[in-house]
């Protein structure tokens, strides 16, 4: 049984790594041994699982079906082993975390780096990028997301409340006036951050109900920091998370508007793939972040 698992694991590791040489380097095994294990597995099954060329490695149709089932079974075994081990052992191993770039750089970094100080046997792969990341396809253990709803295919835990600011530069307000109701924004220049949920349909709260206002303007951008710069330069109104907007507000570069209509319910969430056994290093990180933001609220 041990030999069978070694062959199956070698097959999965080789494909995940993109080749025998890469897998050998990543897992500290010889290329010849990995090749032997994969060949033995193919001989045992009586089918070819991989197409091998000097430049590329790909799976056959049978290999794709076998990989899906085998990788899932190995993950379950690894999770089960980790669950038993994690009950007594200190968190350890590689932890892949995804978070929005600006939030990660400005607010998350000190919290997550303190986690590394608490658990020095964990190696962190922190990926900061402003795009939707598929946790399963990209092998992410946990993602920090700012949203109102969790993806139904994922498990989510609330880390902290989040707030947004709607604002504009003083010069723009002097020129076009201060909006008194969200509907006023329909006819005013707005800066659209395409990472924002709803993009050009901005959400507000009025008498406990959510209202949506379509907006338009001179700029669409996929960076909240760039959107902030544009707003400070007077190009339009902007919706920003409070942790980004507050410094500009304090400097007088950005003036908050429509404070009575600010959308509610946004939270910082830790989301992770639906697995029966949650690795201890992930559970420890989530617990740490909940404790951190309880004493370091996001303004």
- Residues 131-153 have pLDDT tens digits of 777 787 788 889 998 876 555 56
Average pLDDT over residues 239-244: 88
* Top-ranked range on mean pLDDT: pick from 28-37, 99-108, 194-203, 227-236: 227-236
Domains and CATH numbers, the chain: 2-86 (1.10.10.10), 93-161+266-295 (3.40.190.10), 164-261 (3.40.190.10)
pTM of the full structure: 0.60
On the question of pLDDT at 81 being above 90, the answer is no
Average pLDDT over residues 90-96: 87
Please report which confidence band the pLDDT of residue 202 belongs to, taking 50, 70 and 90 as the band edges. Answer: very high
On the question of pLDDT at 106 being above 90, the answer is no
Q: What is the pLDDT of residue 280?
A: 81
**Least confident piece of the model among 113-117, 123-127, 229-233, 277-281:** 277-281
Please report which confidence band the pLDDT of residue 87 belongs to, taking 50, 70 and 90 as the band edges. Answer: low
**Least confident piece of the model among 167-181, 187-201, 269-283:** 269-283
Q: What is the pLDDT of residue 98?
A: 93
On the question of pLDDT at 2 being above 60, the answer is no
DSSP state, residue 182? G
On the question of pLDDT at 97 being above 70, the answer is yes
Give the Cα separation of 196 and 200 in Å (integer): 8
Calculate the alpha carbon distances from 98 to 112, 127, 129 in Å. 11, 5, 8
| pLDDT over 70 percentage in the chain | 91
Q: What does residue 52 show for φ and ψ, rounded to 5 degrees?
A: -110, 130
Give the Cα separation of 125 and 93 in Å (integer): 11
Q: Please, what is the average pLDDT of the chain? A: 87
Q: Are 39 and 60 in contact (CB under 8 A)?
A: no
Within the chain, where are the H helices? 2-17, 20-27, 31-45, 61-86, 101-103, 109-118, 170-176, 224-232, 242-250, 280-295
Average pLDDT over residues 260-275: 81
Q: What is the pLDDT of residue 298?
A: 78
Please report which confidence band the pLDDT of residue 51 belongs to, taking 50, 70 and 90 as the band edges. Answer: confident
On the question of pLDDT at 27 being above 60, the answer is yes
């Amino acid at each position: 049984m041990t030999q069978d698992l070694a062959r199956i694991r070698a097959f999965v590791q080789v494909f995940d790594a993109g080749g025998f040489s890469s897998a050998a380097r990543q897992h500290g095994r010889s290329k010849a041994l990995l090749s032997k294990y994969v060949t033995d597995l193919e001989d045992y099954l009586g089918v070819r699982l991989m197409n091998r060329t000097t430049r590329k490695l790909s799976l056959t149709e049978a290999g794709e079906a076998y990989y899906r089932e085998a990788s899932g079974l190995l993950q379950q075994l690894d999770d089960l082993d980790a669950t038993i081990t994690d009950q007594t052992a200190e968190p350890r191993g590689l932890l892949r975390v995804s978070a929005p770039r600006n939030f990660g750089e400005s607010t998350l970094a000190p919290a997550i780096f303190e986690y590394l100080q608490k658990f020095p046997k964990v190696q962190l792969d922190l990926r900061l990028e402003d795009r939707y990341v598929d946790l399963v396809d990209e092998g992410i253990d946990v993602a920090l997301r700012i949203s109102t709803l969790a993806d139904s295919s994922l498990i989510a835990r609330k880390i902290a409340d989040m707030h947004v600011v709607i604002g504009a530069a003083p010069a723009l307000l002097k020129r076009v006036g201060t909006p008194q109701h969200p509907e006023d924004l329909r006819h005013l220049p707005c800066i659209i951050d395409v990472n924002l949920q709803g993009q050009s349909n901005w959400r507000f709260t009025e008498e406990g109900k959510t209202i949506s206002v379509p907006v338009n303007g001179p700029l669409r951008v996929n960076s909240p920091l760039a959107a902030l710069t544009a707003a400070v330069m007077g190009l339009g109104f902007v919706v920003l998370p409070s942790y980004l907007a507050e410094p500009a507000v304090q400097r007088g570069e950005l003036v908050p508007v429509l404070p009575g209509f600010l959308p509610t319910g946004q939270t910082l969430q830790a989301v992770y793939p639906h697995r029966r056994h949650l690795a201890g290093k992930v559970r420890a990180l989530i617990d740490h972040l909940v404790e951190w933001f309880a004493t370091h609220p996001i303004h």
